[in-house]
Amino acid sequence: MDRFVKNFIGASIVYLFLSTIFGILMLYNPELLRLKFVHSHLNMLGWVSMMIYGVGYHILPRFVGRRIKSVTLGEIQFYLANTGLIGMLFFYTLETYNPGDSLYRGLTVASGILEALSIVIFFYNMIATLYAKEGQ
Ligand code: HEM
Ligand code: HEM
């Protein structure tokens, strides 16, 4: 198993743990529901997407009998996805408690763009692997 694949799966489980704690805190203190986006994206971009990246990178190339197109791109995607997610949720939280702060909003959007870039890399790496010409 490639190191970045194992890292995606490990990170995914950490995000599940964090989002569960956050979910319980929201049940306990409804004031925290204003940060529902943090819980939902820890889950959807952290737990769910990163588990799918990890399992997908490991299994899908084997379905077509090939190696992944680029391990380096997989490594880069891992760092972009995590930096983007943590940054987006961190600055979103700061902006929620400092409404109208354009610096925090800008950093939230910039982190969201990093996250989106990681998704584009996954898209490219997976399509280039699955649809590579025979012999490549
Ligand atoms: C013990 C575990 C969990 C707890 C205590 C919990 C708790 C909550 C709470 C309190 C809300 C806010 C509901 C509201 O708006 O009134 C919520 C929303 C949400 N949760 Fe969880 N959650 C848990 C696990 C999960 C998991 C595993 C996922 C995804 C795989 C998930 C995905 C979501 C999503 C997407 C929303 C937003 C839904 C919406 O806006 O309607 N949650 N959760
Ligand atoms: C770069 C990636 C993403 C960005 C920037 C993003 C951004 C957003 C924003 C701004 C909202 C509205 C939040 C609100 O109403 O306060 C939202 C809601 C939601 N998104 Fe995403 N999203 C991304 C990826 C995803 C992915 C990959 C999934 C599912 C796998 C997902 C699932 C959801 C769900 C279920 C909601 C409704 C729950 C909520 O309001 O928190 N998102 N997203």
CA distances from 31 to 37, 91, 109 (A): 13, 18, 24
Question: pLDDT higher for 135 or 49?
Answer: 49
Q: What would the pLDDT profile of 18-54 be if each residue is shown by its tens digit?
A: 999 999 999 999 999 999 999 999 999 999 999 999 9
Q: How far is the CA of 2 from the centre of ligand 1 (A)?
A: 31
Is the pLDDT at 132 greater than 90? The verdict is no
Residue 116 Cβ inside 6 Å of ligand 2? The answer reads yes
Q: What would the pLDDT profile of 54-101 be if each residue is shown by its tens digit?
A: 999 999 999 999 999 999 999 999 999 999 999 999 999 999 999 999
**DSSP conformational letter for 33:** G
Q: Note the pTM of the prediction, 2 decimals.
A: 0.96
Measured from the CA of 115, which atom of ligand 2 is nearest? Answer: 1
Question: Which of 111, 106, 114, 103 lies closest to 87, judged by CA?
Answer: 111
Q: How far is the CA of 67 from the centre of ligand 2 (A)?
A: 32
